[in-house]
Structure 1
Amino acid sequence: MAGSHGPLQFHFGDDAPGVHCHSLTSGLVCQVVTWRHFGPVAHVRLTYNSDTWEHTMDVMISYTGVTEFLLLGFSEDPRRQNLIGFLFLVAYLAALLVNGLIIIVITSDPRLHTPVYFFLKNLSLIDLCYIYVTVPKVFLNSLMNRNTISFLGCVSQVVFFAGFGATELLILTVMSYDRNVAICHPLHCEIIMSKGACGHMVVASYVSALVYGAMHASVTFSTNFNSNKIHHFFCDIPQIMVISDPKMNIDEASVSLIVVIMTIICFTSISYSYVNIFSAVLNISSKEERSQTLSTCIPHLVVVALFTFTGALAYLKPPSSSQTILDLLLSVSYTVFPPIMNPIKYSLRNKDMKAALE
C-alpha cells in the first residue's frame, strides 16, 4: 500500500485500481475510484494510531455495490472447464429430451388424462425449469471461458432454484396423497381427485413455492457482502451466506425455519399416505394384484428418497468458504440427476407409459 501527502492515492492490489483520500480532523475519508467486480463504494475510512500514519492503518471497505459474482465451483483450467461444460450440456439435453417426451405423450394420449399422470406431467415441467435455472449458465461460462454471473442473474437463480425446488417437494407430496386416495378409497377417487381439485393443488404448489423463493432471495440479498467469490457452480444459498454480513444469518435462519417446517409437514404427509397404502396392500389377497399396486408406488418413493436425502445432506451441513469434490458431486446429485432420473424411473416401470410410447 503506497501513499503521499495532500490528495492521496492508495493501491490495494490487482482487483482495486485506486482510492482517492483526503485528510480530515476525524481521520482520512476516501472514495473508491473503480473496482473490477464491485460497483462504486460510498466511503472507505482509514484511521491511524500515530503521527506516522503511513505505518499503521485500519482499512474498512464496504462491498455494498456488488454488480456481479465469481462462480468458483470448478477448475479454472480452460480445458477442464470445456469438458465440464460439455458434460453439463449433455445432461441438460438428456433432461430436456426425457421430460419433454413425457409432457408430449401425456398431453397427446387421452388414456393418460388421469390425476396421477397430470401430476407426473407437472413434475416433468418442474424438472425442466429446475435444471434450466443452473445448468445452461455453467455451459455458457465454460464456452466463453469465464466464471461470472450478474447480480440480477444471481438473484434470479436463488428465486427460481429455491422456488422450483419447493414446488417439486409439494408436488411429490400431492402425488403421495393421490396414490393414497386411489388405493385406499378407490370408489371416492374421482370425487376427491377431480380435475378442479388437482388443478387447485398444482396452482397452490407453484404460487406458494415461488413466493417462498422470492422471500428467500429478498432476505439473502438485502445485506452487504464481504466478497463476490462464490465457491460453487451456481448461486446456492449456503455459499452466499458465507460471503454475506453475519447479521444477515439471523434473518436467513427465520426463513430456514419456514423451510424446515414445510419439509417436516410434507415428509409427515408422505409418510402418513404410505402407511395407509402399505396397510391396504397387505390386505390384498392376490399376490399379483399386490405386486401391481406396489409397482405404482415404488418409483415415487425412490424419487422422494433421492430428492430429500441429497438435499438434506447438502443443506444441513455447515457452509464453508471452500468446496471439496464431494461437496460438488453432492450438489450435482440434487441439481442435475433428479430432472434426468425422475421421468426414467416413472416410465420404465409403468405399463401405460410404455404403451403410449410405442
Structure 2
Amino acid sequence: MEINLIIFTKYGNWRFIVNRYKLLISFSDEEYGEALAKAFLLQEIGAEITVGDYDRIHSFDGFVITDKTDVLLSDKVKIFEAYTSFSEVNEVVVNSFQITVKNHSNHSKSDTRIITVMGCEGGAGVTSISKALGKEMSLYYDKKTCIISFSLFPDVCVEDNSSSFRKLLYRLTDDTCFNSGDREIVPSSFFIKTDDEYYTPYYGEGINPLCLCEEEIHDKLLKWMIDSELFDVIIIDLPKEKVFDNKSVLSYADNILLVKNARSNYMDFSKMINMINKIINKESKEITVIVNDVSGHENENGSERIEVEKVHNNVSSDDKLISIDYDPESFQEGRIHIDGSFGIGIKNIAFNALFC
C-alpha cells in the first residue's frame, strides 16, 4: 500500500530548514499513529498528514515530535521514496530516512510552468494543440515558451547547427562536466525561435535524439531547464506510444492535457486515464480532458471545434479529472469557457493552465 504524506517542517535546535517533502510510505499493518510516529526521525516536525487505506481516510493534523530518541524506525514502516521541491537537501534528513531524493513537480524554486500535452490515439491533434498553445503563451501572455516534442520525427526545420540539441543531451550524461544550474547558457545555443515566437530544440536530421535517450536523461533535461530558468513555460508534446518511456515527464508536469478525438472509443479513453494514474501514483495533479473534433465537422466560422468534455459519471473522482461544463457564462464566473472556435478554445486552455 502506498501512502501519500506531506510534511512541512520548521526551525529546530539543529538550525536548518528541511524543505517540503512528499513521502511514499509502505505500511505492513494498520497501526497508523504508531507507524507515523516512528517514521519521523527529526527533532521537531510540524506535519499535515493524510493517510488513505483504500476506502478509508485517516487524518492527523499538527502531529509534532519533540524527542527524537523516542521515534526510531521500526520494521512496520518502510520509507522507499521521497520528492523535494529544492535541489539541495540537508544530509541529516537523507541519512536519517535512508531515502533517495528526486525532484518533484512542485518546483517552487523556479516559476517555470510545465504542461504535458498527450493523446489517447494518433491523430487526435496533440501537436496542433501544443503549437497553438505555445503561440498563445508567447504572443498573448508574453511568456518565454519552449515546446519539446517526443515524436520520432518532429516537424521542425533543420539549421546548420542542428546538432546542438544532441550535444546538450550528451553533456547531460556526464555530471562532472555539466552543471544543471548553469545560467550562462542561452536558449539560442540549443533552441531555435519560431515565427510564432516560441522556442523548439535543434533536433537535427533523422530520429529525434530524445527518443534515443534513457529516461534518466529526460529527467536531467527537465531539471536543467527548470534550474536554469531559461523558459517561463515548457510544453511537452508527448505521443501516446511514448508515455511508458517518459514517466518523468508526467511527474514534472504542473498540468496534464489529455487530448481525445470526439469520436474515439470511450473505453480506450478510460484505460488511458487509468494508465496515467498508475504512472503518477495519483499525485496531486489535474488532468484536463480536451475533446478535439477533427472529423471534418466545422462550426459556422469554418474552424475546427474544440471543447472540454464534462467527465462522465462512470469515471471515478479519484482520477483527478477537471470537470468543466460547456457553459457560455462560465468564463465570467472564473471558470474556463470553451465555445465553437478552435482559437477561443486554445485561449481558455492557456488561461486555465496559467491561472486556475
TM-score by length of 1: 0.22
Q: Which has the higher helix share?
A: 1
Structure with the larger RCO, 1 or 2 (CA within 8 Å, 6+ apart): 1
| Structure with more of its chain in strand, by fraction | 2
TM-score, normalization by structure 2: 0.22
